[in-house]
Amino acid sequence: NAGVTQTPKFRVLKTGQSMTLLCAQDMNHEYMYWYRQDPGMGLRLIHYSVGEGTTAKGEVPDGYNVSRLKKQNFLLGLESAAPSQTSVYFCASSRQGYQETQYFGPGTRLLVL
């Protein structure tokens, strides 16, 4: 089992460019999440999904969109990148809801110039 994987590992964007981050899990988990982590801070939830075809906003959703077309994949899109979106992005998955452990991918480091 690969667990949770993220693509790419590192990316540099110019302001205004768009990109998609891909998260994949092979644990048959229902719930998936996208977080961002800024230096010296904990994690903040961007969007999450409680099942295939569903998405919901987290704490800091502005500037991001997500899609969950397949159960195993959760995509995070930046339509027009801004320097404030420079961060490390983590994807996570869990079997069900709040009572379950979230398992994290290795992270994607994004730099927006």
Chain positions contacting other proteins, by CB under 8 A? 31, 33, 40-45, 48, 50, 56, 58-59, 88, 90, 92, 97-99, 101-104, 106-107
Nearest distance in Å: CB 69, other proteins = 19
Could you tell me the CA-to-CA distances from 45 to 56, 82, 86 in Å, in that order?
A: 10, 18, 15
Phi, psi at 81, each rounded to 5°: -65, 145
By C-beta, is 83 or 106 nearer to other proteins?
106
Exposure class string for 62-97: b at 16+ Cβ within 10 A, else e? eebebebeebebbbbebeebeeebbbbbbbbbbeee
Nearest distance in Å: CB 74, other proteins = 14
Cβ 78 vs Cβ 62: under 8 Å: no
By C-beta, is 14 or 28 nearer to other proteins?
28
Nearest distance in Å: CB 62, other proteins = 16
The CA-based diameter of the chain, rounded to the nearest angstrom, is 39
Nearest distance in Å: CB 31, other proteins = 7
By C-beta, is 17 or 50 nearer to other proteins?
50
